[in-house]
Structure 1
């Protein structure tokens, strides 16, 4: 007999939900899940929690997701805890360190593309064939592709070499630049708000904070 079918009693969703919440709360004081979340995101961590809780009850994680998707209160409780986990200092630091390494690599590649210099072997070995050809073409042409962007890339590389811990800090207000911005603009010198001020663009009201959503 399948739990939740017409022939049997409905699953104990309130109990399952409370167990999910308490398990997520307990994760906040542990560290074993952090490397996974830093590498592939919080979703696999959440999925594993649901499997461990739902399967012994004879229900699927998908069924639980369906329940809380239809219940705004339950959904907010889960989202609040997932957002709190994403703000765990150890996870934030690990994600930022990974972003620094990725940004440094991107900046090195971009530097060679913009300057037309002959790239070293270590750069060529870390990129695909299309990027390799792009670097070769840039080196052969000897042209500086973007005289405005190149100095910014060079400055970001100097900053990373001098003190990697300062990478990702806004030069104008000192706040931490969002990871999403650094992923798009690894040479960014300031946060989006200060960049608008530099460019004389009228400031805009901040968008309302959106809870972390996986369902």
Structure 2
């Protein structure tokens, strides 16, 4: 199968390209660094030439209101280029609960990306993942100082990026879902408790302070970031992943 991965040099994209090539597929890895610009459409026709499936794992450069324009423009260009190329399947990576947090600009933007894909001309699949294990460091830096890390008690169900990649690879090489697949890790944590676990494992002396006004996830109400029934639950536990990657 011929597959083009848009965003093919990032955390998810680079792993996905390798996984698909190992499985014997012909894969084009495209990104801004390879001359493909989703905002102008430059390089898209060449990148999608001969593609059966297009997998879009790109991210907006910002998490603010500008992300709405990014996804509106980029989806339009990608769907049009895919139709010109005769692609039969468009796949995107999204976020579990993305349509339940309208108070976050970035989540509204990702929900818009999903809606535009559903309304587009090509059969599609949406893979929604929970938060990646790899992002825990970044989440803690948002509200940290030399002595404390302030985190809300928002429930999350984190997953290893490699297991998101496997789900994407499976979906990309199958028939279009014309729907959504949720993927998540095996355990649910309050975010503040996951912070404490992470600092303890690193022997970091800082203290996690529970603060339900701190950081982006403070805007999330209830358990909307937890995968629902029918989700694909990955086997790797955070503690095991952390021990293997420390």
TM-score normalised over the length of structure 1: 0.26
TM-score normalised over the length of structure 2: 0.24
The structure with more helix, counted as a fraction of residues: 1
The structure with more strand, counted as a fraction of residues: 2
